[in-house]
A = this chain, B = another copy of it.
């Protein structure tokens, strides 16, 4: 049979449905990645206290958490396999990240053994687990970055930033525990603590920008819970101590408990973010399927029985306003109203919808792109100047403040200029 315009319109709709189904599978995958991060955070916390207390605390708790990590890990491995079995377009970096994460998961038994034998210190153990978490988090970023539906993309950006913020909270708990376990304030840990607090604020800020009303309300609701007061008081003690001063080591239990309470509250929100995402996917699929069904009926009717008048067609469809049509490719459109006019109107409405979706998608992805640029610029500064991540970030931020520019613009300039440091101060060319 000869290919017709309605065939293409229906194929486009079907492709949209298929894409939404793939997106649902990826949203489930993201949920599992977030779950794995959560259990590793718990295991990391317990292991660090276990090591710091020379095995006196958290022994049973740690064993319990390891069992939980292992259970989620086996679910995650099955999900990896599912991702490998689903043909995908060009997520090359995703494979690579999956391999790194798997390598990390495979190193866990050995690491757990060394922790049990006290042949590794708390800081090194925390670093090791944090690396795996970073890999899992980078995978969530990849999935968010490859989503093509603007609404889902926004939710994924919100979720990614929430997971980031939660991980920064987890790391803050670990750094605070390191200081308190030693009973001694070290400047480098203090700085790391302050960096993590600031990073949390940024992450939750972006989360709030992209989250839906319900998720944002949930987040607002946990901003005034009792543990916050305790956390802020302990943060003040940790942050204001002089370098080398001793700190009351007994505070470690309170610190760990209130941070953990906070993380649990965050975990509940994370779960409902993932549930909301999956629900949203299902709603979109149902809508698209209804739309496909309706379009099929309409197009069949129109092709078989040309409508009596153009007005009849106008009432069936909701074509875009004529004003929005200019500039489009509308060959034959001037030939006036004919039976095919309904198809033209439908196509016009679809083109307009696509253009709108594309603009929305771009807005959602801009935040991800900015993050990519800042991460890359940080990496460049770290490699060139041999400085730590926080120092690289501070450098970008300071330059931005001095020059009254956005951090992302400074990051771009840093990436564009081979001799950025001590460079000629040329302003960053805007790369679209």
The CA of A332 and the CA of B77, in the complex, are separated in Å by 18
- In the bound complex, residues from chain B placing their C-beta under 8 Å from that of A64 are none
From known contacts A88-B15, A412-B430, infer whether A379 and B107 are also in contact, taking CB-CB under 8 Å: no
A36 within 8 A of B: no
Contact B431 A100 (CB under 8 A): no
Contact A409 B430 (CB under 8 A): yes
The CA of A354 and the CA of B103, in the complex, are separated in Å by 18
From known contacts A8-B95, A11-B84, A332-B106, infer whether A431 and B429 are also in contact, taking CB-CB under 8 Å: no
The CA of A98 and the CA of B329, in the complex, are separated in Å by 11
A331 within 8 A of B: yes
Contact A373 B432 (CB under 8 A): yes
A34 within 8 A of B: no
Q: Report A206 CB to chain B, min CB distance, Å.
A: 15
Residue of B nearest to A81 (CB): B3
A87 within 8 A of B: yes
Contact B432 A8 (CB under 8 A): no
- In the bound complex, residues from chain B placing their C-beta under 8 Å from that of A329 are 97, 100-101, 104, 131-132, 134-135, 138
Pick from A219-227, A251-259, A279-287, A344-352 the stretch touching chain B.
A344-352
A391 within 8 A of B: no
Contact A331 B8 (CB under 8 A): no
Contact A104 B332 (CB under 8 A): yes
Which applies to chain A's interface (DSSP): helix, strand, loop or mixed?
A: helix
Per-residue CB contact flags for chain A residues 389-432 toward chain B (1 = under 8 Å, else 0) read 00000000000000000101100100000000000000011111
The CA of A128 and the CA of B340, in the complex, are separated in Å by 17
A290 within 8 A of B: no
- In the bound complex, residues from chain B placing their C-beta under 8 Å from that of A357 are 92
The CA of A100 and the CA of B340, in the complex, are separated in Å by 12
Contact A77 B3 (CB under 8 A): yes
From known contacts A95-B11, A96-B12, infer whether A3 and B431 are also in contact, taking CB-CB under 8 Å: no
From known contacts A382-B326, A432-B412, infer whether A92 and B12 are also in contact, taking CB-CB under 8 Å: yes
The CA of A111 and the CA of B325, in the complex, are separated in Å by 22
A16 within 8 A of B: yes
- In the bound complex, residues from chain B placing their C-beta under 8 Å from that of A328 are 100
A60 within 8 A of B: no
Contact A15 B95 (CB under 8 A): yes
Would you list which residues of chain A between 116 and 162 have a CB under 8 Å from chain B?
128, 131-132, 134-135, 138, 148
Contact B8 A90 (CB under 8 A): no
A209 within 8 A of B: no
Closest 6 CB pairs of A and B: A430-B430, A107-B332, A104-B331, A89-B89, A12-B95, A90-B148
